[in-house]
Amino acid sequence: MAAKMIGNFIGNLVAALVMARLVARTGPPDLMHGLKLGAGVGLGFSATALTIQYLWESKPNKVWLIDVSYHVIGCALLGAILSVWQ
């Protein structure tokens, strides 16, 4: 259990560092910019990767929708927080 939590923390830390770098390099850091950038990253990377995985695993569409929504909303919030914070 501890190894999974540490791995989860490291993965989220890397995602936050990359998002912070994107926010800093792609224009003026304001709330809407961060939300749009985060949503774009969530849709462009997380949602597409999960969609490909779910196509091969044949999981139900409702589970896919829950997982994709979680990642897209999380990325959008991360972008918003980081853009306002900097």
Q: How is 24-73 classified by DSSP, letter by letter? A: HHSS---HHHHHHHHHHHIIIIIIHHHHHHHHHHT--HHHHHHHHHHHHH
Give the pTM.
0.87
86 pLDDT exceeds 80? no
In angstroms, the CA 22 to CA 31 distance is 14
Specify the number of domains making up the chain.
Answer: 1
Residues 54-75: pLDDT tens digits?
A: 999 999 999 999 999 999 999 9
Instruction: Give the domain range for residue 18.
Output: 2-85
